[in-house]
Structure 1
Amino acid sequence: MNIIQNPGPVYSQLLIVTGALLISLSPVFVVLSGVSATSSAFYRMALSLPALFLLLFLTGGKLWLGMRQCGIALLAGIFYTLDLTCWHQSILLIGPGLATILGNFQVFVLAAFSVFVLHTRVTLRLILAIPVSIIGLYLICGVQWSAASDDFQLGVILALTTAFWYGGYVLILRMLQTSFDLEGKIANLCMVSIFTTIISGLVVIGSGDTFSVPGVGSWLYLAGYAVICQVIAWLLISIGIAHTTPIKVGLILLLQPAGAFIWDIFIFRLPFTSVTLLGVVITLGAIYLGSTSTSPGERSETG
Structure 2
Amino acid sequence: MTSHDYSRGSLAAMALGAVLISTSAVFVKWVSVGPTASAFWRMGLAAVLLLAWLARPKVRAGWKPSPRVFGLLAIAALFFAVDLWMWHRSILYVGVGLATLLGNFQVFVLAAYGAFVLGERGGWRLWAGLSMAVLGLALLLAPGWESFDARFRIGIAFGLGTAVAYGGFLIAFRAAQGQRAQVSNEALLWWMCVLSASVLLAMTWLGGEAWRPQGLRDWSALLAYALIAQVFGWLVIGRVMPKLPAGVLGLCLLLQPLLSYVWDALLFGTRLGLVGMLGLALSLAGIFLGLVRGQRKPQDAAVDALA
TM-score range, shorter chain: 0.7 to 0.9
- Letter aligned with residue 284 of structure 1: L
Matches within 5 A, 1:1-303: 19-62=17-60, 63-178=63-178, 184-239=184-239, 253-294=253-294, 298-299=295-296
Instruction: Structure 1: give runs of 5+ residues left out of the alignment.
Output: 4-8
Number of residues of Structure 1 aligned to a counterpart in Structure 2:
294
1:255-281, CA deviations, whole angstroms, 9 ceiling, x for partnerless residues? 321221222122323222112111111
Task: Say whether the 8 Å CA contact 1:97–1:260 is kept in structure 2.
Answer: yes
Whole-angstrom distance in 1 between the partners of 2:161 and 2:254: 17
SS class of match (1:145)? helix
Instruction: Confirm or deny: 8 A CA contact 1:98 1:261 kept in the other structure.
Output: yes
Answer whether contact 1:89 1:155 (CA < 8 A) is retained. yes
| Cα contact 2:69–2:179 (8 A) shared by 1 | no
In structure 2, C-alpha distance between the alignment counterparts of 1:117 and 1:16, rounded to whole Å: 31
Aligned partner of residue 64 in structure 2, secondary structure: coil
Q: Is the 8 A contact 1:114 1:120 kept in 2?
A: yes
CA drift at 1:187? 0.6
Q: CA deviation at 1:74?
A: 0.7
Q: How far off is 1:85 after superposition?
A: 0.9
Name the structure 2 match of 1:6: none
Identical columns (%): 34
What CA distance in whole angstroms lies between the structure 1 residues aligned with 2:284 and 2:18? 15
CA distance in structure 2 between the partners assigned to 1:10 and 1:183 by the alignment: 31
Aligned 8 A contact 2:93 2:151 in 1: yes
Query: Structure 1 116/68 Cα, relative in aligned 2: closer, same or farther at 3 Å?
Result: same
Q: 2:127 and 2:237 mapped to 1: Cα distance?
A: 28
Q: CA deviation at 1:18?
A: 5.0
Unaligned 5+ segments in structure 2 are 301-307
Structure 2 length-normalised TM: 0.84
Normalised by the length of structure 1, the TM-score is 0.85
Spell out, residue by residue over 1:197-225, the C-alpha distance to the aligned partner (whole angstroms, 9 max, x if none): 10000110111212122221111110111
Secondary structure of the structure 1 residue equivalent to 2:80: helix
Which SS does the other structure have where 2:146 is aligned? coil
Aligned-residue offset at 1:283: 1.0
